């Protein structure tokens, strides 16, 4: 059936739903006639283990006998309504101070129900606090223990806290760095 696959095309859309336990979800495309299958492997190749519902996404897609399937994730943006709700609050908006250096880290633990978790930054003894709202601003829905991430952190009243989180690959590419840190 591989011979039935069409050339790869680029589409933009919104994540309809994604279930990390099932390993797939669907994208509502701005231009495609049907939903696009989003497989966990395509997300992993982009550096994510999850994505939140209504996140904006740009992907390459191929048509198979079973329908449209994501070939590669190119970009993930937070849901537009969630960015607006953050901006409406009396808190700073999602503008990130890029003078804060990106640091490589690993998720220690993250509890979606509690709405927070912690990461370890390579070479530093203290944990970095991660709040659910910070995660949502990136378009991510959850973090898994041991997941490699790139983050920007500031000193807070109770210690270091993340102000932005990115998938490892895109964070390191944005920094223009080849850190040389090996995976386990």
Q: What is the pLDDT of residues 120-162, one digit of tens each?
A: 998 898 999 999 888 887 778 888 899 889 999 998 888 899 9
Residue 6 is encoded by which pair of tokens?
């069409």
Number of structural domains found in the chain: 2
Q: Mean pLDDT for the chain?
A: 80
* Pair (169, 98) in one structural domain: yes
Scanning the structure block, which residue is given the tokens 């930054």? 121
Main-chain dihedrals φ then ψ at residue 146, nearest 5 degrees: 85, -10
Scanning the structure block, which residue is given the tokens 């804060």? 100
- Look at residue 114 and tell me if it is in a domain: yes
* Pair (10, 70) in one structural domain: yes
- Look at residue 182 and tell me if it is in a domain: no
| Mean pLDDT (whole number) for 90-98 | 56
Scanning the structure block, which residue is given the tokens 């378009």? 139
Residue 57 is encoded by which pair of tokens?
């996404």
* Pair (156, 94) in one structural domain: yes
The residue with greater pLDDT, 105 or 178, is: 105
- At 119 the pLDDT is 94
For 133, the enclosing helix (H) or strand (E) is helix 132-136
Q: Smallest Cα–Cα separation from 148: which of 129, 165, 136? A: 165
| Residue 39 CB neighbour total at 10 angstroms | 16
Residues in the chain: 184
70: domain CATH number is: 2.40.50.140
* Pair (98, 167) in one structural domain: yes
- Look at residue 139 and tell me if it is in a domain: yes
- Look at residue 109 and tell me if it is in a domain: yes
Asked whether the predicted pLDDT for residue 72 surpasses 90, the reply is: yes
User: Last residue of a domain, which of 54, 77, 100?
Assistant: 77
Asked whether the predicted pLDDT for residue 181 surpasses 60, the reply is: no
Scanning the structure block, which residue is given the tokens 């709405």? 115
- Look at residue 112 and tell me if it is in a domain: yes
- Look at residue 148 and tell me if it is in a domain: yes
- Look at residue 23 and tell me if it is in a domain: yes
User: Last residue of a domain, which of 57, 77, 97?
Assistant: 77
Residues 6 or more apart whose CB falls under 8 angstroms from that of 172 comprise 102, 104, 150, 178, 179
Q: What is the model's pTM? A: 0.57
- At 177 the pLDDT is 46
* Pair (37, 8) in one structural domain: yes
Note down the domain range covering 61. Answer: 2-77
* Pair (49, 14) in one structural domain: yes
Q: Smallest Cα–Cα separation from 73: which of 59, 62, 85, 94? A: 59
* Pair (54, 25) in one structural domain: yes
**Three-class DSSP category at 81:** helix
* Pair (130, 156) in one structural domain: yes
User: Last residue of a domain, which of 77, 97, 126?
Assistant: 77
Residues 6 or more apart whose CB falls under 8 angstroms from that of 135 comprise 110, 141, 142, 143, 165
Scanning the structure block, which residue is given the tokens 């550096």? 47
| Mean pLDDT (whole number) for 40-53 | 86
């Amino acid at each position: 059936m591989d011979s039935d696959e069409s050339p790869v095309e680029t589409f933009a859309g919104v994540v309809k739903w994604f279930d990390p336990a099932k390993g797939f979800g669907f994208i509502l495309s701005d231009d495609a006639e049907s939903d696009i299958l989003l497989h966990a492997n395509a997300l992993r190749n982009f550096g994510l283990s999850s994505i939140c519902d209504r996140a904006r996404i740009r992907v390459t897609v191929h048509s198979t006998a079973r329908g449209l399937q994501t070939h590669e994730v190119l970009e993930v943006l937070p849901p537009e309504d969630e960015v607006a709700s953050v901006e409406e609050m009396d808190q700073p908006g999602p503008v990130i101070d890029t003078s804060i250096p990106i640091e490589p880290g690993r998720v220690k633990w993250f509890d979606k129900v509690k709405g927070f978790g912690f990461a370890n930054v390579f070479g530093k003894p203290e944990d970095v606090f991660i709040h659910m709202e910070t995660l949502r601003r990136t378009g991510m829905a959850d973090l898994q223990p041991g997941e490699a991430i790139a983050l920007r952190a500031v000193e807070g009243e109770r210690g270091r806290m993340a102000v932005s989180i990115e998938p490892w690959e895109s964070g390191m590419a944005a920094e223009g760095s080849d850190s040389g840190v090996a995976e386990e």
